[in-house]
Chain A
Amino acid sequence: MPQLNPAPWFTILFFSWLIFLIVLPRKVLSHTFPNETTSRSAHTPKTEPWAWPWY
């Protein structure tokens, strides 16, 4: 199996991590979003039931 050939292993490792650390986070981080993140609240808000019709 050619994948088991140890010759380019370190080169592949080094090069792939280089691309992964340099190129990708820049591209991912450059996407900005308009809303702030909210953390999940532990309690759900208690809403009062209402019975009046919509009109």
Chain B
Amino acid sequence: MVLSFFDQFMSPSYLGIPLMALALILPWTLYPKPTSQWISNRVLTLQGWFINRFTQQLMLPLGRKGHKWALLLTSLMIFLITLNMLGLLPYTFTPTTQLSLNMGFAVPLWLATVLIGMRNQPTIALGHLLPEGTPTPLIPVLIIIETISLFIRPIALGVRLTANLTAGHLLIQLIATAAFVLAPLMPTVALLTATLLLLLTLLEVAVAMIQAYVFVLLLSLYLQENV
């Protein structure tokens, strides 16, 4: 079996244990249980600060009714950012490169926001399908367009995260292979490639954090429309 560059994304098993299971269970050991001490250690303080500020920032545009989603959205943010960042370590498996996982989160959560809107304020929810100030002849076309854009949202949400992370990992692997192959042949070019690899890795760190944030932010925006 020839190894191709896509094989890093296969759901692998080692000694009968699917690595997906390990990649989903082990990261939470990085989040220790908070103590009842007044001032805890640095790790707990940092995590608590992040959770607090993130929840505050995310809940600002949502009214009181949206505050019910605080725990879900903050947990989702912690989930995604941890999985994304840990996936950048060598030889780790990134569960968020799997389309199944991302769609599995995007579709139910998006559907929940839509159903909440339809149930609590159906007129307003349906009113989002027609922007204000549309010229009358354009109304039917625009409603169709807005409905399509509404239904594309979960697909876009899931595929955006998958594609960003998959592309990043693939690029890292490709450029690392290039640097490795070039090292005995053209050392200078290999050094330049290695520098490129370093910059790319920094970019991927940023992308990992940003994509997790974008996922949760967009969900909160969809909720804002509908809550």
Contacts and interface: CB of A to CB of B under 8 A. Distances in A.
Nearest to A27: B31
| Chain B contact residues: helix, strand, loop or mixed | helix
Given A24-B79, A33-B52, A13 B100 contact: yes
A51 interface: no
Contacts, number: 84
B175 interface: no
Nearest to B55: A28
B100 A12 contact: yes
B77 to A, nearest CB: 9
Contacts of B84: none
Interface residues of A, number: 28
B57 to A, nearest CB: 13
B100 A20 contact: no
A3 B24 contact: no
Given A3-B99, A24-B79, A31-B51, A16 B105 contact: yes
Most buried by A among B6, B79, B100, B166: B100
Interface of A: 1-5, 8-13, 15-17, 19-20, 23-25, 27-33, 39-40
Given A1-B9, A13-B104, 11 more contacts: A3-B97, A5-B10, A10-B100, A12-B104, A16-B24, A16-B95, A16-B104, A19-B24, A24-B28, A28-B75, A31-B48
